Structure 1
């Protein structure tokens, strides 16, 4: 029961503290890493480092999963760390840092391409045709955004039984972008059986490798990954970020 509880905490943990590493902490963190590795043999302990909170350490599980622990490795904590003086979440800052990816390495040929205006800015979106939040993103947040090239990776979720079929039909359409836009904006599905070769399975694996488990998920040129149908103003700010 204890191990199951720990697993649930690890799975639920999505936020962490901003670290402040020091050479003097190397020995203690190495010992702590070895101890946790024995206690959690089914988990990959990627790294351990100090945090601004004395006696509390950041533990990276796998690629992005983060929890806190004490120096003895006797307790595990999950949650936000807030800088009260600055009134900001160190957790959010650190999460954004860990979730960044190399935009230049994304396989854009697996996505539907939408060039608006001069197309000078770039944005990647992982989307499910049956996701209501994805439709909100298309109809509200992305509506009116110009001079951008949007690459949409079709990512049908298992919670939407017909999403995979629709994704294949859209991808196999003669005009992929028109088929996508017509369905997301007008609820008009393209005709066809969707039997052509498609990148759906590759997109799902790509999303998993990036730590993306839900839709919509946006990736900006800076490498920052943002989940949800965020407001148009926020999208504009992130498109402008270097």
Structure 2
């Protein structure tokens, strides 16, 4: 998720968590201090030298990436693009993918609703999903095709309406059912799942989605940390993964 100007201003108004960076050198300390003074609630998690001389890449706990001069005086928002002999490379997106992958691996797959590949597993996708999202339902209709292509689908909860809503309660009921896979399929077909409650990972998975930059559903995280935003037909996704 890019940090745009409006988001930067909003951070000034809505921020509540102090910056607590663990930084190595003087320039990094200075950048963190300047940003801390200007945006008290922006939780900076890392400051590193970027590929561009004189610019440091700053990342926040919300998955935002922006850039600063070494003195912390100037802050640049938006993606950094690099011109190479093969074309234009989005350096910022690659950094986000690396950070996203680290968060996903740290969180693990415990508590996911899993639809395993049929036969040999050739790829795994992590899908942040909302039961009531039309395009999530469309993607779910093609999960058997994805499985036939050798793709395992791991569902993570991301009810877009947030806690305390009907969509949130549906996901909890699905997860707490005796057969979450069947309950998920039924719910995404329009059936209302029988109400059920238990200790569940819906909130934790939802927060993970926020941390890795999910802004809409379905959001498909690939094994290299890159994210496909929105519905993609099963065959196109398999082709993109090099399976066809």
Pick aligned residue for 1:155 from 147, 155, 158: 158
How many correspondences in the alignment?
222
Question: Partner of 2:114: helix, strand, or coil?
Answer: strand
The CA deviation string for residues 143-172 of structure 1, in whole angstroms up to 9 with x for no partner, is 522223322223322269431232233334
Instruction: Name the counterpart of 1:111.
Output: 112
Instruction: Name the counterpart of 1:37.
Output: 36
What is the RMSD computed on CA atoms of the aligned residues? Answer: 3.6
Distance 2:59 2:103 in 1: 20
Distance 1:29 1:238, change over 3 A: same
Distance 1:239 1:107, change over 3 A: farther
Establish whether residue 182 from structure 1 lines up as the match of residue 183 from structure 2.
Answer: no
Question: Partner of 2:127: helix, strand, or coil?
Answer: strand
Distance 1:206 1:96, change over 3 A: closer
Instruction: Name the counterpart of 1:15.
Output: none
Whichever of the two has the greater Rg, that structure is: 1
Instruction: Name the counterpart of 1:68.
Output: 67
Question: Partner of 1:57: helix, strand, or coil?
Answer: strand
Distance 1:88 1:117 in 2: 35
User: Normalised by the size of structure 2, how large is the TM-score?
Assistant: 0.70
The CA deviation string for residues 170-227 of structure 1, in whole angstroms up to 9 with x for no partner, is 334443212222332xx24155223455432333344345454542233344454544
Instruction: Name the counterpart of 1:164.
Output: 168
Instruction: Name the counterpart of 2:217.
Output: 215
Structure 1 unmatched runs, 5+: 12-24
Structure 2 unmatched runs, 5+: 14-23
Contact 1:100 1:225 in 2 (8 A): no
Displacement over 6 Å in runs of 4+: none
Instruction: Name the counterpart of 2:195.
Output: 193
Instruction: Name the counterpart of 2:81.
Output: 82
Pick aligned residue for 2:137 from 135, 138, 150: 135
Instruction: Name the counterpart of 2:125.
Output: 123
Contact 1:119 1:149 in 2 (8 A): no
Q: 1:231: how far off?
A: 4.7
Contact 2:131 2:137 in 1 (8 A): yes
